[in-house]
Amino acid sequence: MTTKELPKVRLRELTLEDVEDRYQWCLDQEVTKYLNMPNKYPPFSREETKAWIDMCIKRTNGYEQKAIETEEGNHIGWVDLKNIDKQNHHAELGIAIGDQAYWGKGYGLSAMKEMLQYGFDHLGLNKIWLRVEVDNDKAIKSYKRMGYVEEGVLRQDRLRNGAYVDRLRMSILKDEFYKY
């Protein structure tokens, strides 16, 4: 599947109606395995989830977070830009497909492509970077497919289940994205 054959998605603003979906996805340990979550179960209460989404809606937490919907209107995950550096024109991307029924079908790539366009065109970014755990092979493969390149290894960068894991830092530049 090339990026031209990706399923269509729509990025939309979050609403408080998204709280229950997000809460349920965060209960799924397969969904949250590679996400930076508190070391407790559940990682967040419904109230904490609602407060987080409310901060995203009001843009008081520094995140440009969008809900991912399929062409049919199914809410399947979220994508965001954070750590936005307005002076140097870069930001960090985060993405999660919470509904496992949509895993491995190109929805994440499609949502990532939309968010990259938003970051480059609407926020005026030049570089969008990310951190991904070195053992998250599926994510690394999808990022490379989108045109991301490895910048380096962040050693013992995340504490996961009581052990430190390395993360790759990857990035894509605006001109690389539009050549792709």
Domains of the chain: 3-127 (3.40.630.30)
Q: Which of 102, 107, 143, 148 is catalytic?
A: 143
Tens of pLDDT, residues 129-156: 999 999 999 999 999 999 999 999 999 9
Identify whether the C-beta of residue 96 lies closer than 8 Å to the C-beta of residue 35: yes
- The H-or-E segment that residue 160 falls in is strand 149-160
Query: Residues 74, 49, 66, 129: is their CA dihedral positive or negative?
Result: negative
Tens of pLDDT, residues 154-169: 999 999 989 999 999 9
Over residues 54-61, the mean pLDDT reads: 95
Model confidence at 6, pLDDT cuts 50, 70, 90, reads: very high
pLDDT at residue 2 in the model: 52
pLDDT at 37 over 90: no
Tens of pLDDT, residues 72-115: 999 999 999 999 999 999 999 999 999 999 999 999 999 999 99
Whether 143 is a known active-site residue: answer yes
Cα(23)–Cα(86) distance, integer angstroms: 31
Identify whether the C-beta of residue 154 lies closer than 8 Å to the C-beta of residue 169: yes
pLDDT at residue 39 in the model: 80
Over residues 58-71, the mean pLDDT reads: 96
- The H-or-E segment that residue 168 falls in is strand 163-173
pLDDT at 1 over 80: no
The two structure tokens encoding residue 46: 């419904």
Instruction: Tell which residue, 26, 20, 61, has the closest CA to residue 43.
Output: 26
pLDDT at 40 over 90: no
Cα(121)–Cα(39) distance, integer angstroms: 36
Q: What is the pTM of this model?
A: 0.93
Name the percent of the chain lying above pLDDT 70: 97
